[in-house]
Each structure stands twice: as C-alpha cells, then as structure tokens.
Amino acid sequence: MNPILSSSRARIAVAIAIVYATSLTITHIVHADTPKTAAQYSADPAAMLEAYRHVEAASVSDAIEQVFHEKRYMSHHMQSIFPAKFAGTALTVKLVKQENHDADALTGMLKAIDSGGPGSVYVMQVEDGADIAGMGGLMGTAMFARGFAGAVIDGGVRDLPQLKKIGFPVYSTGPVPSTSVGHYRFGGMNVPVDCDGVKVSANDIIVADQDGVVVVPREHAAEILVLAQKLDNSEHSMYPFIEKFHSIEEAVKQFGRI
C-alpha cells in the first residue's frame, strides 16, 4: 500500500475519532448543564436540594436580597470548625436556659437527632449559649451516621477532634468545653428558632460554605435557586474576562454584576 495514502487514511481516522469523541462530550455537558425552571425544581425537591449543593452561599444571599430586600444570612460570629460546603433542609431544635436536675431535660434533643436523616441540617438555638456547647462528638457522630448534611449551632461546640475525624461540618459561635446538661431544657423540635438573628423554620433550605450560612424560606426556595444560579454563572464568567482584559470596570459593564 502506498505509505502516503496509508498515512492520510490514518490521519482521517484519528480526526473522525476526535470529532466523534468531542460530540459525545459536548452532548454530555449540554445535558448536565441544562438549567431547570423554578416550576421544575418545585416539582422535584431532590433535584432542587442537589442544585443548592453546587451554588455559592454569596449568590444565594444576593438573590434573596434582590427579591425580598431582606437579610437572611448569619453573621461572622458563625464559624465552621473546618472549611466546608453543604446544603440541606433544616431540622430545628431550641434549648431553653434553665438550671435543673432532671435526667430527661434534654431527651427531646436526642429524639430530634434520631428523627432526622439524609440531607437534614441540625439547626439549634441555645438561649444565651455563647459559652455553652450545644453539641459535641456524640451528637455529631449520630448525625453523621444518619446522613445529616451538617449542623448550625447558635451556641458553642465541643469535641472538635472527633467531629474533624469523622468530617462532620459544624458552624457555631466557637469551641467551648462546657455542657448543656443541668443548665438547659429542651424547648421544642421543628419550631421556629432564632439562629444568630435569622429566623429559621423547619424545612427551610440551609446553604453553607466558607463565606457563611444562608437561610432560604422553603416556600421561595425554587425561585431563589434559579436566580442564584444565574448570579453564579455571571460571576464565574467574569473571572476569565478580568484575567484576559485586566479590567474589572469593563467586566462589570459587560456582565452587570459586582
């Protein structure tokens, strides 16, 4: 066979293979990145929650502010015990400050944990609890075993070595060695709570990453998600534009976001 012809056929075969592989890749990407509407997310809560796991807390916060003109994010006082990103549905618990010798004073808190499951976020209000550990290693291990996405404690946290060992993410006002036993009483599960100044109701969507914690009212979760995704996409498109043209002013003019 003519070696030139053979070489030409080989190049053509490689080119066809590359085009075919590229078309498959593009098809996959388009399918994966096809945005859903708010109505579609409302009809598919599992898909909505999964999408929230991939959107940035800052974009969710901005979306809420644009739509409702209100603050739904927690302050810098709420810090994660290690860098983390999660989203899930709120399971709320309230602890009321009350000195007691009742062995069952906190039983409801434990029952609340055992009622949760995959995707739950344990959200606890510890009344005047900056120096009280609202949870520790035992509770965190139980949440981890049950598939909780994470915990947000308006109070302290302890047993950090165990929580870090199992990789269970917790936001709190800081580490403390104290206990709530004998000082607090269970005040209710899935009741509205005030967590660092933000009202949280059962089944609200909690979005947390290294920028902080945002609370999305469940009834508006789909609407907020769609807008947050648009804000995310816009900002992520600006990074390469700024790197290429060396101008944030031009990027803001082009994409309308800062």
pLDDT class for 114, splitting at 50, 70, 90?
very high
Mean pLDDT over 54-68 rounds to 96
Least confident of 25-29, 101-105, 254-258: 25-29
pLDDT class for 21, splitting at 50, 70, 90?
very low
The predicted pLDDT at position 9 comes to: 52
Mean pLDDT over 66-87 rounds to 96
CA angle 5, 8, 10 (to 5 degrees): 110
Chain mean position to CA 73: 12
| Domains of the chain with bracketed CATH | 73-216 (3.50.30.40)
Mean residue pLDDT of the chain comes to 87
Sequence-ordered list of residues with C-beta below 8 angstroms from that of 176, at least 6 positions apart, any chain: 130, 131, 132, 133, 156, 157, 158
pTM for the structure as a whole: 0.83
Question: From CA 54, how far away is CA 240, in angstroms rounded?
Answer: 20
One-letter identity of residue 110: L
Q: What share of the chain is helix, strand, coil (3-state, %, to 5)?
A: 45, 25, 30
Whether 151 shows a pLDDT value over 60: the answer reads yes
